[in-house]
């Protein structure tokens, strides 16, 4: 299990826009340079006292960070600290999220970026959309009940989990945000859309 968190902050991000195997996007509005966040990075490091944090002052924002931020804050006028997940273990990330809760009480947004379902198989076999839809509906129900235990055990409890998430990385950021929430049962869907058989659902928690 990876135990080292990595934090990136600063005003002059060299954004990581390209993904292996995907074409370049010349229409992307580059760059996405956010204001200096040195103070926020120090605050975050203090909250994570028991977890080693390696800071990268000049690392760019990952596509998982700048894509939602570009939609939410197109003017790039919000300071951003990008934090890598120290683990892919759902339970560990749920606990990790609780340590970020004080940031929310200070009006700081905790954003977990992923996909409610992330299946390449459904591109090739559209009939598998029944599996991703079942997973999405299960996750919505678990969130409505604030059932963090079910969410952390999604591999065994969620229908279609093997198809919807062959790897954990696009789902488990949700556990971090659930942990950071004051009310795990407060999830409201801000985006509810299926695209090419995958759910791009986005939820907001308080």
> Does residue 91 lie within any of the structural domains?
no
Question: Are 122 and 190 in a shared domain?
Answer: yes
> Does residue 145 lie within any of the structural domains?
yes
Look at residues 154, 193, 179 and name the one whose alpha carbon lies nearest to residue 93. 179
Question: Are 123 and 202 in a shared domain?
Answer: yes
- Domain that includes residue 190, residue range: 114-206
pLDDT digits (tens, 9 = 90+) for 8-61: 754 444 445 455 554 455 455 567 889 999 999 999 989 988 788 888 877 788
How many folded domains does the chain comprise?
2
CA 39 to chain centre: 22
Question: Are 70 and 146 in a shared domain?
Answer: no
pLDDT digits (tens, 9 = 90+) for 83-112: 999 899 999 999 999 999 999 989 999 999
> Does residue 121 lie within any of the structural domains?
yes
């Amino acid at each position: 299990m990876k135990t080292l968190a990595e934090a990136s902050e600063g005003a002059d991000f060299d954004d990581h826009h390209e993904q292996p195997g995907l074409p370049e996007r010349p229409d992307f509005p580059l760059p996405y340079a956010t204001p200096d966040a040195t103070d926020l990075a120090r605050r975050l490091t203090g909250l994570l006292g028991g977890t080693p944090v390696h800071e990268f002052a000049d690392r760019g924002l990952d596509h998982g960070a700048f894509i939602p931020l570009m939609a939410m804050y197109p003017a790039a006028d919000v300071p951003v600290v990008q934090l890598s997940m120290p683990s892919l273990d759902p339970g560990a990330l749920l606990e990790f999220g609780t340590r970020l809760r004080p940031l929310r009480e200070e009006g700081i947004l905790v954003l977990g970026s992923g996909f409610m379902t992330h299946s390449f198989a459904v591109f090739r076999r559209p009939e598998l959309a029944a599996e991703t839809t079942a997973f999405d509906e299960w996750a919505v129900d678990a969130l409505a009940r604030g059932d963090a235990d079910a969410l952390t055990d999604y591999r065994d409890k969620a229908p279609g989990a093997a198809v919807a998430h062959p790897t954990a990385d696009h789902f488990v950021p949700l556990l971090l945000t659930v942990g950071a929430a004051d009310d795990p049962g407060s999830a409201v869907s801000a985006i509810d859309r299926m695209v090419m058989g995958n759910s791009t659902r986005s939820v907001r928690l308080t």
